[in-house]
Structure 1
């Protein structure tokens, strides 16, 4: 039996999966469409809802019907079947099929959702039979005049098609309204058409021809019309038609429709069947509002007898949103009260009923075939959870030779290809497309014998072999072209390419449901359930490997429990893939990538590792390259070559090397090797610069895919190897169950610890809280004083760590630098940190086993050791410590206390610490350094005074003691100086007490002496002894009784103040006398006495000084007298000028010493006086004994004065 024999309907018949509501089919096609129409609940409900709404029109406010559904969901087919139910030519057959479908439903089984009962349908059918309903099918795209404004698009289409219903021209609205309609009303239209045919040879029924004649021969046409209806105003008609200026509005259209309904009965309806409204609106606001207003106006004017049914791909909300119209303005939802939605969810059922429905007489045979093969279905058809093969025998009968999942999957392929632009817009995964491809495939396999199965790739051949767009061909053709080079079954390879092309290009969400894995691809290609699946799977895998190697497809790594999948490269990706394949991968590249994997997994493996006290530099070795530290004390070696058995590798290993021996397992894991090699090639390519934005995008895709591959395969496989490979420490292989259970970072940490335990076995000797781990802690430990009994009794013996250093030092010749000691104990088997070594070494020094030298200086204070031994260990050496007797130490302590007093007692019993404390340090508050610091500070203040000599002597003694670097010598010297130093320190203490108690008085007396050294000469003779005594203080080596000096100071101050008072009184008297003379002189000169300056301030100023000699000099008033006399003369001259400017003309020189010169223009100019203070030479060697001698003396005085006067001077005489 052949497959064509099992179908209920002839498979060779013509099946039209896509219908047009306006297309007039031949009777056979119409019958087939009615006969094969598949009713679902939503179709039955939709038909009843619309037809009953038209019947019960009075219960609606508006007359809009909205039918929405995805492209190809069956809404156009539904609209056409609705027309079949109305059209009297097809009504009976269409309604009968609808009734059959309803009657076949068991309303009680709960599996259906029907909105009415059979009685309601019967009532509706009876009304439909008696009602008169005209339908006007509309194809908006073909009926629309592009020249019409978008805001009137719907109106013109509706009006033109209404005119067509009336027999008027549907292409020329104005001719139909103003020419044809008046002729129709007069009953002359048919006669008009006859005349036009006879006289103008024009077929007026050919509406396109008629429209052309109207545009080109309108006057002749109007003459014919007027001959039939003489009352026609042809001039007006001509203007309206030619200018198209008559009013075209929704109101006038509604008026015409209302007029049309005037003679129609109550059961008359007119239905506009408008297909694909959403495409026509196309988010255009004006068109949408035009439709809304038409529906509104028809409801208002036409008594709900005219309805508008619209199909669209979007529901009303999406239309409103696309047009950016709010509900207040649009209110579209209220205009379309009747709504039917098709979501394309029943396409499988529809396809099965229309195409795959089986004859009753073959169903038993199919049941037997199912029984025979059903056990093989679950094995052969391994499919994702949501994609079913045959679930039961009925499923098998309904879908054989197809499988249920194929219809669902091909729909997903259609939708994805549409979004990718691989197919034309008309191909979409809904009822229409599924019916077409299933029917075509079934026809192609019609002559095959029953028993085989149609594979998924056959759907590809019947759908995409010719309909695939260029963008899709570019992808798949590369695979088809490449299989020509395949060395196996090329036809089968092409089938694999086709299947992979479909499933690998599913949407991202569908890929999660049906990933393109090897298993699923194999299932899609099963055509014989009896054949071994494994054989088929291997053939598929071979083809996929070939395509991967040819850079046509790529592997995408597992994620989220999904196995490895496959996908096609784009053209640009193929170019990049080819370049990547050409990249050379060397050891350096592999090592770089491996280091990132290994060091990330062993996250605790850093460039340093702390073990006990020390931080060790760690190196990682991978394929000859070193990572982390360049010169590590320990090396972690990841060996990826097969170098023999683990024991052989261990035998050749060094003690400081930890080996993770991955080589044998890595070399056996070919999948990992290949994946890692590919990864390295990609990484090398990505390191090169991008050549374009597109190339950068492609690189990003490769990076993402490679990262997934690394995460899902490479990382995981290497992690497994690291967790299971042999681990070698030195020459030993770790082999115990405890270590075997360790994974990841823990495994690395345990291995490293075991290596350190083995290599640095004595590291634990410096383990403990007492060992400092910071520089500051070490400094604190060094600076801490030795406590009494600290190294006695239980602590008398050296610690194990101290013994290690002491043994080492005993085996050395001479002094050893500290840096050498640190370096020695940093190496195996100790591995001590430098701080730990320095601490243990210092403990030996504290025990007097060893002592330090610093820069060849054997006397190193603790402060120097603490601050510099870490940073300058090479300048420190260690020597055997010298033993000082207890007797000498005790004598020294006694002498020290005797010299410096109880407060400076040294409490330690440790000779080294005593020596250091006695010497003192920057940090300590005792010892010679303390005294030196105090005395040096005092010396800066008082060192120039004669009484400070004992302190200077003490400082000299301290310097001499400090110069002694050997503790024993130092102790002996202090003991020898016991008495002398004691006496000196007593004197020093007295001197320092003097500076505290009497220094202010001492300084005051010295200042008194300094200020009055000259004044003392003017004192009476009786004060000479006191002056001598007080001035002796300046050289006094020890001013014992300061009170005597204070008394002398008081006595001399009284005597000096008495002389000062007398001189100040004389200053005052002299100035007051001069002032009186000057005031009188001013009056005599006719000058106001205020010209003379009062000398009060001058007297005060001249009396301020304490110097007696200065006070004596300040009694001279000559300068004051001369300056004030000059002021009087100047004032007198000014008065003379003023008088001259206001008086008569005189000329001459007066005895007053002023000269006056009057010019012809009565302008006078008085010469400025030249005044000088003349100091007359009044001394003479002659003895004046008579008048003649006196006259001669006075004559000499006169001559002195006249010489100056004759030179133009005016004189003042002060003595």
Structure 2
């Protein structure tokens, strides 16, 4: 019969005995044979009961001696079999039927709750059986997880039992047992409580927890743990960070006052049940930029939060700090349990948030996210994009706006900022918004920079970071449209850097709108612009000032470029350039358009004079500079021969004109004459130099001839000839290329010295050869020597400087002449008598 029963209902039987999470260790029947062999017991019960006996023995809940091994198991199975002997073949032995076999060995205090359960009016008879089963598995949670599914498997007593009904029955029983502090729950796991654990549970249950404490814990879990303490979200398009207020069930978490708000409504909120879709839509449309998350309903969330707080407060109480060892073990277990409970609550809250309903700005949203933080990012990004409707006005953003503010303030020309305001890079829509606001608010009274920043970082602009707003202010300031003041003093670009780049100083900076020039002043300024620059300007004040700034900036750039050249010697216009640059710099430093125009008109005649001077200078350095450089080069070439040229009347006049042009501070009208004058002087200079050059070359040729004569006389070899002649030949080449008469005369004089040097070289070479002949005894090898007369060396020479023999510069009397001649004669004769040659110099 048993075999037939298993053949018909084997799948049902094994399904009844299936465990959650214990499919390997908690075995069911393999086949009909095993069913017949084990019936009415399940295969897993043999191993399980052995583990139960071991665990009870280890934790010391037995009073009398609990025998070990097979005898204990045999008694337990025999007792259970006897207890179920009168039941039919559909019967299965539930776990609690094994309890009586060990009851007599359990300490009275350990089993008191089980003994007292039948007499407890709050409990049903079945509750006592369930309590017995939970006691048996109390210390083996690693083998059997005490959840409802597994408890139902342990307590099933018939093959055809309705397991779903059994689970409901167990669930109801557990609820009654929990109220009586006989079991405790940790997530989906249920545990039997010993007397001491029950006392602790009862004391924990008496710990008071306020609604505010639960709200604070829930806020901490949601905003600090699940959402990571996030207080701002980066907008995906602009990459700017936007902060938001955080609320939980209508109350702010960590107070803040930002334009954007996120509220999370949880089942713990007083009005959670009242938050219908219509009310959520209405609530999300309140207070500007607001988003609302209505989480899904959570099972036992309130209970779990309360229990968590109760345990934490109890563990931190004075009683717990002085507890005995057994109590400390229980508290340690509860601490571990609470740690798991916190993780479980976090996971539950995350799921409740993701599966909740989302609302923003009066709209219900469909957000699908993989995690709460991703959901937060999506929700707040929607909030940003649809709250700050003028956010797209700020199209061009800076990677480092503070650095850009400094760069704008350091601009060399204010006008360039004005020209760029209407371009895409200048964010024209944002500039217009700011300009219109300043026109309205700052025209009659001062407006604080902090107020401007607060306005345009708020709704509906949202221009963040705040430095983007300050950058717009800086551009209007540098464009001359507004005036900035700090502590009563006007700010210039240099002094504005610090207060505009330090947010703590925003309240010290005031903004004033500039005055508007009158139509008559604008017309006069346009006429002056036409006279100065020979072109037409725009008619409006901003355009006119921008045109002036651009034109003056061009002048400034040109003049600075020519300034270095003009600093060189004999270059005109340096004074004009310096004065014009200084005047232009002062004018461009004026930021206010009204003041800019008035200052121009007040110095109209000076500007017209400056304009003429600039035109002359710029024209000179653009078109006449090459001719001027030829003039300077020519005068430099004529300088050596100037004394000779000045002796020629026509040439002297041309040379004087060239020098006058060079020294003229405004030579611009004389430049056309330069080429003709250079040609006149250049021809005369070349003629005079040619005459001197021919004389010098003739003199050098004569000296070369003299050297060659001496070389021939000694029958010099090629090396000696080259050594003696080369300096004179090189001198001749050098003189042939010269146009400087003083240099020609100098090198002509040097020719005499080189002649003397050559003679010494020849003399020295001859003396060496004579010495060689004497040492060889007059014999020769290989060649026939010439006679002494043929190879005699030239006589030594002596230079007599005739002028040095005169005692005075001038000879004025016959006696002085005769004395000088006698002295010269004496020197000449003495030299000849000494066997030397004389060269008079």
Instruction: From the superposition, tell whether residues 505 and 1064 of structure 1 become closer, same or farther in structure 2 (CA, over 3 Å).
Output: same
Q: Deviations over 1:437-466 (max 9, x none)?
A: 99995698469752285636599999x99x
Q: 1:907 aligns with which of 517, 538, 549?
A: 538
Contact kept in structure 2, 1:636 and 1:659, CA below 8 Å: yes
Structure 1 residue 1108, shift from structure 2 partner: 0.6
Q: Residue 152 of structure 2 corresponds to which residue in structure 1? A: 519
Deviation, 1:1015, is 0.2
Cα drift, residue 1114 of structure 1: 0.9
Q: Deviations over 1:138-158 (max 9, x none)?
A: xxxxxxxxxxxxxxxxxxxxx
> Partners of 2:435 and 2:673 in 1: how far apart?
69
1:1077 maps to which residue?
A: 706
Change (3 A) 1:851 1:482: farther
Is 1:1138 aligned to 2:769, yes or no?
A: no
For residues 125-524 of structure 1, what are the structure 2 equivalents within 5 Å? 399=36, 402-403=39-40, 406-409=41-44, 441=77, 445=81, 449-451=85-87, 455=93, 485-489=110-114, 496=134, 505=143, 517-523=150-156
Distance 1:718 1:1195, change over 3 A: closer
Partner residue of 2:630?
1004
Cα pair distance change 1:887/1:869, threshold 3 Å: farther
Q: 2:640 aligns with which of 1014, 1017, 1033?
A: 1014
Q: Does 1:767 align with 2:767?
A: no
Distance 1:639 1:350 in 2: 59
**Cα–Cα, structure 1 residues 816 and 666, in superposed 2: closer, same or farther, change >3 Å?**
farther
Native 8 Å contact 1:504 1:516 kept in 2? no
Residue pairs, 1:70-81, within 5 angstroms: none
CA distance in 2, matches of 1:1193, 1:836: 99
How far, CA to CA, are the matches of 1:496 and 1:644 in structure 2? Answer: 37
Determine if contact 1:1079/1:1089 at 8 Å carries over to the other structure. Answer: no
Q: Is the 8 A contact 1:825 1:837 kept in 2?
A: yes
Q: Residue in 2 aligned with 1:816?
A: 447
Q: 1:1060 aligns with which of 665, 689, 692?
A: 689
Q: 1:884 to 1:1214 in 2, by over 3 A?
A: same
Which is bigger in relative contact order (C-alpha 8 A, separation at least 6)? 1
Deviations 1:854-893 (A, max 9, x none): 56787989xx99x969988667532354243223212321
Superposition deviation, residue 1109 in structure 1: 0.7
Q: Check 1:785–1:745 CA distance in 2 against 1; reply closer, same or farther (3 A cut).
A: closer
Query: Structure 1 pair 799/706, CA: closer, same or farther in 2 (3 Å)?
Result: same
- Pairwise CA distance, 1:1121: 1.9
Give yes or no for the alignment of 1:1033 onto 2:661: yes
Report how many aligned residue pairs link the two structures: 692
User: Are the aligned partners of 1:817 and 1:878 in contact in 2 as well (CA < 8 Å)?
Assistant: yes
Selected match of 1:894 from 527, 538, 543: 527
Distance 2:823 2:463 in 1: 119
Gap change, CA 1:1105 and 1:673, over 3 Å in 2: farther
User: What residue is the counterpart of 1:1150 in the other structure?
Assistant: none
1:479-516 CA-partner distances (Å, limit 9, x unpaired): x988962423379777655567789538xxxx99x997
State the secondary structure of the residue aligned to 2:483: strand
For residues 109-144 of structure 1, the C-alpha deviation after alignment (integer angstroms, 9 at most, x for no partner) is xxxxxxxxxxxxxxxxxxxxxxxxxxxxxxxxxxxx
Q: What is the alpha-carbon distance in structure 1 between the residues aligned to residue 174 and residue 472 of structure 2?
A: 75
C-alpha contact 1:961 1:970 (8 A) present in aligned 2: yes
User: What SS is found at the alignment partner of 1:1125?
Assistant: helix
Q: Structure 1 residues 1129 and 706, CA, compared in 2 at 3 Å: closer, same or farther?
A: farther
| Kept in 2: contact 1:618–1:629 (CA 8 A) | no
* 3-state SS of paired residue (1:617): strand
In structure 1, C-alpha distance between the alignment counterparts of 2:595 and 2:227, rounded to whole Å:
62
Match of 1:715 among 330, 347, 359: 347
Structure 1 residues 416, 1052: closer, same or farther in 2, change over 3 A?
farther
Q: CA deviation at 1:1096?
A: 2.1
Give the structure 2 partner of residue 1100 of structure 1: 733
How far, CA to CA, are the matches of 2:581 and 2:140 in structure 1? Answer: 105
Q: 1:546 to 1:631 in 2, by over 3 A?
A: same
Following the alignment from structure 2 to structure 1, what is the Cα–Cα distance between the partners of residues 310 and 542?
A: 69
Asked whether the equivalents of residues 1015 and 1108 of structure 1 are also in contact (C-alpha less than 8 Å), the reply is yes
Distance 1:968 1:982 in 2: 20
Closer, same or farther in 2 for the Cα pair 1:517/1:566, shift >3 Å? farther
Indicate if the aligned counterparts of 1:908 and 1:914 stay in contact, CA closer than 8 A. Answer: yes
Alignment check: 8 A CA contact 1:665 1:721 kept: no
Stretches of structure 1 that go unaligned for 5 or more consecutive residues are: 1-6, 8-347, 354-369, 423-432, 466-476, 559-563, 569-584, 648-653, 683-698, 758-762, 788-794, 921-925, 1146-1170
Q: CA separation of 1:602/1:633 partners in 2, compared to 1, >3 Å: closer, same or farther?
A: same
TM-score (norm 2): 0.59
Secondary structure of residue in 2 paired with 1:1012: helix
Q: Match for residue 1111 of structure 1?
A: 744
Contact preservation (8 Å) 2:244, 2:262:
yes
Distance 1:443 1:969 in 2: 113
Match of 1:929 among 553, 562, 582: 553
Whether the aligned pair in 2 keeps the contact of 1:1060 and 1:1108 (CA below 8 Å) is: yes
Deviation at 1:907, TM superposition (A): 1.6
Instruction: Go from structure 1 to structure 2 and tell me whether the alpha carbon gap of 1:1212 and 1:527 turns closer, same or farther (over 3 Å shift).
Output: farther
Partner of 2:321: none
The 5-angstrom pairing of residues 581-596 of structure 1 reads 595=220
